Amino acid sequence: MEIEINLAEPEKRKAPQFEELAFGKIFTPHMFVMKYEADKGWHSPKIQPLSHIELHPAAIVLHYAQTVFEGLKAYYGVDGKIRFFRIWDHIARLNRSADRLCIPQVEPEFTFKAIKTLVSIDRDWIPKKKGAALYIRPLIFATQANLGLKVSCEYLFVIILSPVGAYYKEGFNPVKIYVTTEYIRACPGGTGEVKTGGNYAASLKAQDLAHKMGYTQVLWLDAKEQKYVEEVGSMNIFFYFESELVTPSLTGSILPGITRDSVLKLAPKLGIPVKERKISIDEVIESIEKGTLKECFGTGTAAVISPVGEIHYKGRSYLINEGKIGEITKMLFDYITGIQYGEKEDLFNWTVLLED
């Protein structure tokens, strides 16, 4: 399929000087859109000036949340080359999410071409500072006007781009997380392992509460027993107990994070043994009390690796590593960001250049 391209006015295309970049607040001047209709399939792909989208008030997505999304980044390397990080894995996850939500899948090669073309058009908007990047947000949602609960016959696939800085105001500094025992994020058989809006809507109440208490994000426990650690609001979680790095196994209610997978593959290469297993919140608290939990960090595309300096559980706050960044955390952060910015050897061929 050919992508029709309609460029924005030249003055709208000029990138501003990026000073303090927040996360997801500014957008590049172009967007990709493509329609789906049951009898035509995906059709009419376009890159056009960024604009609002017109939706019928009965659009299925607005009522029943039939929607999926992804989040990946393009980095401006130290060598002036632009790299995507694990783009094929993000596209594959978009399709797995789509399948779970009964949304028609998109052709991976074509999706790659759409992202590449869009990023290439807005390439001046990729921040050149290390730590900043171009965040790419593909999303697909149900547009058919129908108040009956059913699978939509029509969809829109949109890709927007946002130059971003650090995800947390703390930057690469320890964040504080709040363990909720009141709310759950996802349960077995639900949609926790895919990226769909409803998961995030359901997490807002607990997140709001955590924010009001001065915590950055919520740490979710399993839905059945409220006993095992699952993940953080938008990150997977790792604990470094004495000499072993561990992360909760994928149970079906945890998002299989691509940064999580990167740590699992990279850690052994850096001499750090790593394991996926069940981790109870009691084990975490006891290890903090005994001094055997040395480090804790979250992983995600937005923050890459985020040290956790404090955990709040059942009315008490526990400091981890005296609230400081740990050695293992720093080593993994440096290595992964090193690959993303073209400074370190890409041992697993995770990056794809915008231009070969």
Ligand X SMILES: Cc1ncc(COP(=O)(O)O)c(C=O)c1O
With respect to ligand X, which residue has the nearer C-beta, 14 or 265?
Answer: 265
Return the residue matching tokens 């960024």. Answer: 50
CA distance 27 to 163: 7
The reply on whether position 97 binds ligand X by CB under 6 A is no
The reply on whether position 193 binds ligand X by CB under 6 A is no
The reply on whether position 71 binds ligand X by CB under 6 A is yes
Q: Taking every pair of C-alpha atoms in the chain, what is the biggest distance, in angstroms?
A: 63
CA 11 to chain CA centroid, nearest Å: 31
The reply on whether position 221 binds ligand X by CB under 6 A is no
The reply on whether position 258 binds ligand X by CB under 6 A is yes
With respect to ligand X, which residue has the nearer C-beta, 61 or 258?
Answer: 258
The reply on whether position 216 binds ligand X by CB under 6 A is no
The contact mask relative to ligand X for 98-137 (x = CB under 6 A, - = no) is ----------------------------------------
CA distance 156 to 108: 16
Return the residue matching tokens 């909760």. Answer: 248
With respect to ligand X, which residue has the nearer C-beta, 298 or 326?
Answer: 298
With respect to ligand X, which residue has the nearer C-beta, 152 or 203?
Answer: 203
CA distances from 17 to 20, 21, 28, 211 (A): 10, 10, 13, 31
Interaction residues for ligand X, span 280-299 (CB under 6 A): 299
CA 67 to chain CA centroid, nearest Å: 16
Answer for which of 184, 255, 296, 332 binds ligand X (CB under 6 A) is 255
The reply on whether position 235 binds ligand X by CB under 6 A is yes
CB of 220 to ligand X, least distance (A): 9
Which secondary-structure segment (H or E) carries 172? none
Backbone angles phi, psi at 219, to 5 degrees: -100, 120
* 332 token code pair: 């993994």
List, in order, residues 6 or more apart from 315 with CB less than 8 Å away.
Answer: none
List residues near ligand X by CB under 6 A: 71, 231, 234-236, 255, 257-260, 299-301
